[in-house]
Chain A
């Protein structure tokens, strides 16, 4: 007996039982049977054909009109079978793609995220989460032999794979210009050239680049259209905007990047973020910058890493655990 005959026998016995008793229990059996048919990849038209064969053998004298109507129904179901098989094939392709992306995401993780600096004078915290699997946000710390710490935070427009590929390019451009590490404005100028020449015209990158000098506790920084960060003045217990003016990378051939500086006292903090942080939406609307400040403020007693983790968790909760954009938050606090 082949598969079809076995199926037909089972189907027929459940069907005829139902025609006798019309009980919920038999319907439940039917539901279980349909699950098995799906497992065995029985297409909709085959399911209908099974029904027709069962009916024909249960009611050999079925009126011709009914037989004809079944033929018609079969024709209708072929289209659904089409859609069903396409769905299955797309699903297996999707699984394949997901596996590939998973691998790419892991590669990106190892490529981009370097070691966190350990400088006596600084307490540093960082969190960066992609909205999808690949991260279009980027941050990078470099610590040199004089305990100067440079920090970069960047956001490529768009999300996902294109953004992530672009980010890898930025990383290598930065690594290959070590002499500009000490000059934020020159670094941005150089990166702008790389991006302007190599990137799709609709694409741009925002970036903030800073350098913390542990010797005089001065922070030098420049911005290329990046979401402004915050400066926390511990003595006045006051958050201010870390404003920079500068065009995003990749738009103009010769933009000027101004360099700013800020002196940090003990307890002062630099807070850097990607616009994913302030573009977050909750059910009540946009999450405002003030709310982020309030979240940081109420966690000031924690370490920098604990603060960014807490803020991330709270924002995640407010958005019902669905990130709309990549999310990055960095904190540098002067310890001593």
Chain B
């Protein structure tokens, strides 16, 4: 059970491509990468989740923290390409209405 994070930067857009699982074990690793990016004003952070097959509530917590930080620091956070299984978590928790989510893959949304 592992998480790989690939980062690509272009001007003020930062793309994090995740693959693997975002759970209690890997969440700290993601937080360490994601949080500093959200703390710079005017930056856009795009997190690609197409290859994330499992996320638990600790994983969601990282995005909640990132969302709060991006609001505080006037940066933009976007999540793209998540599977419908992962999207269900965002839906149940109501986070889909406060986080910018694009391009959900497969299944009903």
Contact = CB atoms under 8 A, between A and B. Distances in A.
Pair from one complex: yes
Contacts of A246: 94
Interface string B62-77: 1011011100000000
B95 A247 contact: yes
Most buried by B among A159, A206, A246, A251: A251
B24 A255 contact: no
Interface stretch (B11-19, B41-49, B52-60, B100-108): B52-60
B36 interface: no
A251 B98 contact: yes
Given A157-B60, A158-B61, A325-B56, A201 B94 contact: no
Given A224-B94, A225-B92, A203 B61 contact: yes
A279 interface: yes
Contacts of B98: 247, 251-252
B31 interface: yes
Interface residues of A, number: 25
B93 interface: yes
B24 A248 contact: no
Given A155-B57, A157-B58, A158-B24, A245 B65 contact: no
Nearest to A281: B54
Contacts of A224: 94
A334 interface: no
B60 to A, nearest CB: 7
Given A202-B31, A227-B92, A279 B65 contact: no
B97 interface: yes
Interface in A219-240: 224-228
A156 to B, nearest CB: 9
Interface in A189-228: 201-204, 206, 224-228
Given A157-B58, A158-B58, A325-B56, A204 B64 contact: yes
A198 to B, nearest CB: 14
Contact of A206 (B62, B69, B93): B93
A275 interface: yes
A159 B68 CA distance: 22
A36 to B, nearest CB: 39
A225 B65 contact: no
Interface in A124-143: none
A201 B93 contact: no
B62 A202 contact: yes
A247 B56 CA distance: 17
A323 to B, nearest CB: 13
A228 B68 contact: no
A84 to B, nearest CB: 27
A202 B65 contact: yes
A66 B31 CA distance: 54
B6 to A, nearest CB: 23
Interface of A: 155, 157-159, 201-204, 206, 224-228, 245-248, 250-252, 255, 275, 279, 325
The 10 closest A-B pairs by CB, nearest first: A225-B93, A247-B94, A202-B65, A157-B57, A202-B61, A201-B65, A225-B94, A157-B61, A248-B93, A201-B68
Interface of B: 24, 31, 56-58, 60-62, 64-65, 67-69, 92-95, 97-98
Given A206-B57, A206-B92, A275-B92, 12 more contacts: A157-B57, A157-B58, A201-B64, A202-B64, A203-B61, A204-B57, A206-B93, A227-B92, A228-B92, A247-B93, A248-B93, A251-B98
